[in-house]
Amino acid sequence: MTQTIGILTSGGDTPGLNAAIRGVGKACQTHYGMHVIGFRDGFRGLMENRTMALDGDILSGILTLGGTILGTSRDKPHKMPVNGKVMDMTETIVANYHANQLDCLVCLGGGGTQKNALRLKQAGLNIVTLPKTIDNDVALTETTFGFDTALGIATDAIDRLHSTAHSHHRIIVVEIMGHRAGWLALGAGISGGADVILIPEIPYDVTSVADAIKARKRKGKPFSIVAVAEGALSQEEFAAQQVAAAKKKEKKPKEPEPELVYAERTLKLARQLELLTGLEARPTILGHLQRGGTPSAADRLLATRLGTAAADLIAAGQFGYMVAARGETSLPVPLDEVAGQVKIVPPDHPWVASARGVGTSFGD
């Protein structure tokens, strides 16, 4: 009997999603003779049973496309808004899985998707997942598809900002995505030659940041680029957050804060640096620009590799795994070990050491 495989994309859109859909779909069809369908708009589409065929014609030509042909959403199976109420729709999702006679559901997503996929596995479904996010913060995989493209976009932005910063003798504070992990800001900051890099893992002292900028000014460099991850906190903000968390006895990571909160922090930082250094400071928030556009060659390659590896797992009857990147190969990692974990930047990571080695300040 022909196996039927379902695919959905969940969470924020990421370059390389279509390449991964293509990798899973073509490998399942070409090598294993499986039937493949997609569910529109993430777990909501699965709950509402909104499907689309993923045959060869649909999968042709999508390798280079950004976004996802399936659409996406941040809806969670157990906390889904329905008719003005937040409801647990897990039973409906399980029923639709069986109604479509699925043998496996492949979920493409970041940390939240891994947790939601684990819940469906625990509900009795055959699940395989792939790690995607521009933040590169999914646990137990060396990298996620989408990261390389976003890294290139953020680096290009910093490159462009250098000329205006130099021309006007200004501080440019460029906010880069990453609310819990600083991989993107760190990588782009190093690649773009930022003078200061601020990431969530290393709380900063704004006076120390200002001192680094003033030191550059004394050396005849009256401009600076500050690459700041959206989740970066000053030492005072970090301490206040820890006190608040202790009072609430929070044991789990917080949900992402509204983007407005991040923007306010960046604007505040720019104002503080202007006052402390006497230089004009201009904030630039890259926002969703980092998610868009054609995926890089590296992301297309990674997404294709992981997608075909997922097809191999399904054919072997191995379910309940995320396909993790390991060098030029892949490794199935149990969802139980991935879900709820975040891959953060270790303070002694080689990237951090390299940045410090060329004189980059982390504000600490």
pLDDT at 263: 80
Q: How confident is the model over 118-145, as pLDDT tens digits?
A: 999 999 999 999 999 999 999 999 999 9
Last residue of one domain, picked from the residues 292, 310, 326: 292
Burial 316-330 (b: 16+ CB within 10 A, else e): eeebbbbbbbeeeeb
Residues lower than pLDDT 50 in the chain: none
DSSP secondary-structure letter at 199? -
Check residue 260 and give its pLDDT: 65
The CATH number of the domain where 72 resides is what?
A: 3.40.50.450
Q: Which residues contact 218 (CB under 8 A, 6 or more apart)?
A: none
Q: Locate all alpha helices (DSSP H) within 198-347, ordered by sequence.
A: 206-218, 235-248, 259-277, 297-315, 335-338
Q: Rounded distance, CA 339 to CA 142, Å? A: 16
One domain for residues 227 and 131: no
Please list the alpha-helical segments (H only) found in the chain.
Answer: 17-32, 42-47, 56-59, 90-99, 111-122, 147-168, 183-192, 206-218, 235-248, 259-277, 297-315, 335-338, 350-357
Specify the pLDDT at position 262.
79
**Total tally of structural domains belonging to the chain:** 2
Q: Are residues 302 and 232 in the same domain?
A: no
Which residues are catalytic, by number?
Answer: 135
Question: What pLDDT does 256 receive?
Answer: 52
Q: Do 229 and 284 share a structural domain? A: yes
Give me the pLDDT at residue 124, please: 98
Is 363 inside a domain boundary? no
pLDDT digits (tens, 9 = 90+) for 77-107: 999 999 999 999 999 999 999 999 999 999 9
The verdict on residue 356 lying in a domain is no
Count of H-run helices and E-run strands, the chain: 13, 13
Identify the three-state secondary structure at position 35: strand
Its domain, for residue 141, covers 4-145+295-338
pLDDT, position 125? 98
162 and 288 housed in the same domain? yes
- 358 in any annotated domain: no
Domain assignment present for residue 357? The answer is no
Distances (CA, A) of 48 to 43, 45, 270: 9, 5, 45
pLDDT of residue 245: 76
